[in-house]
Chain A
């Protein structure tokens, strides 16, 4: 039986999948926040950088981005004369996923900020609060409310996208699936088990998300 023989390896691989997901999401949130703030501000230069980032990263398939960072970037560094520069699969995977997810996150956060009535920023500014404080204390907390469903959705997509990083040899769940089905020739059972494992995690995540959504309704 696959589960008996590979059970602990499957759990380990699932752990790697979750580790990669959490690391990527953490950095993606930071990237998303930075670039969305560049986009909603009035500074033309920052607007340009924000748009260029989002369009640039969204225009490249994740698998290409992963190859570029894992193989391309070290090759480029080598050309500049630095020997021995390598990125681990986890490092390259995290960078690729965080960049990719960050671009989508930037759009989600931008849409969230723009969904907040302009009067909120005006009321806050009229009290003497700075733009940054108004954004942090008044606009963003309200934006989060509309953003939560899309952010959760993006979390799920990112979790699933970790499977793409099996191509650079990161030992996550899908990668292990390839190994197991290669060793045992039991493709049906292997991929069913792998699929169900993803499903359990994702369904649990969506249930938790629903709960969070219901809790932030401010007396409505």
Chain B
């Protein structure tokens, strides 16, 4: 990865909620086209870390540089930066008052990146890609969990982001729907998308991750290629965690 461009540079990131220190000292570089999977016990700070990467959680201290822009700097237009960072949530967060197609079209049209007809065409193209073009006029309440999450991914992709953040995208799904969402994510990997994924799907991590990052207690404890972390973990805490989940 040394020859690749650094996409996200995180330096001594700290995040407190009141007196609770959730992220104590995180530094990491994420490269263009890299797929980084964050694992760790609940409360380890992995979701908080992910949410700091688009400043949904405002960092308490430290630096986060995305594409050369310091997003922890108050003078940076965070909305502009977010246009390039898609995010997929555990609970989908589709807009229930809008149809599937309207969900996808909203941001590109409102931010004047596309005209309505362009956004519609892009939306239908994305819906075909996630296999849900027949649901364009449905409301989110009429869809299954797996379908909602595929729509949520399509909605993020409508902005043509070059980074995608996934916050436990399959955790709220019935087991038989996990596969369809992971399949869409694997396609993104194949397209060379830079991805940061918080997940409990160890199988997914083994298969597609370039790097697995194990977090615990607000620190990055260990990181490396999946075969190294899953087969030969070095830190006792990593070994302990993997014994519980594998």
Chain B residues with CB under 8 Å of A130's CB are 79
Chain A residues with CB under 8 Å of B85's CB are 126
Q: Is the CB of A126 within 8 A of B86?
A: yes
- Rounded to whole Å, the gap between the CB of B140 and the closest CB of chain A is 8
Q: A128 contacts which of B82, B93, B139 (Cβ < 8 Å)?
A: B82
* Count of chain B residues with a beta carbon within 8 Å of a chain A beta carbon: 29
Q: Is the CB of A125 within 8 A of B56?
A: yes
Q: Does B3 contact A (CB under 8 A)?
A: no
Q: Is the CB of A142 within 8 A of B93?
A: no
Q: Is the CB of A137 within 8 A of B106?
A: yes
Q: Is the CB of B96 within 8 A of A142?
A: yes
Taken together as a complex, chains A and B put the C-alpha atoms of A71 and B111 apart, in Å, by 51
Q: Is the CB of B139 within 8 A of A218?
A: yes
Number of cross-chain contacts by CB at 8 Å: 72
Taken together as a complex, chains A and B put the C-alpha atoms of A142 and B141 apart, in Å, by 14
* Count of chain A residues with a beta carbon within 8 Å of a chain B beta carbon: 21
**B19-73 interface (Cβ within 8 A of A):** 54, 56
Chain A residues with CB under 8 Å of B79's CB are 125, 128-130
Q: Which of A59-67, A114-122, A190-198 faces chain B?
A: A114-122
> Which residue, B54, B85, B107, B140, has most C-beta atoms of chain A within 10 A?
B107
- Rounded to whole Å, the gap between the CB of B71 and the closest CB of chain A is 13
A contact set with B: CB distance below 8 Å = 117, 119-120, 122-130, 133, 137-138, 141-142, 145, 218-220
B contact set with A: CB distance below 8 Å = 54, 56, 79-80, 82-83, 85-87, 89, 91, 93-97, 106-107, 110-111, 138-142, 152, 155-156, 159
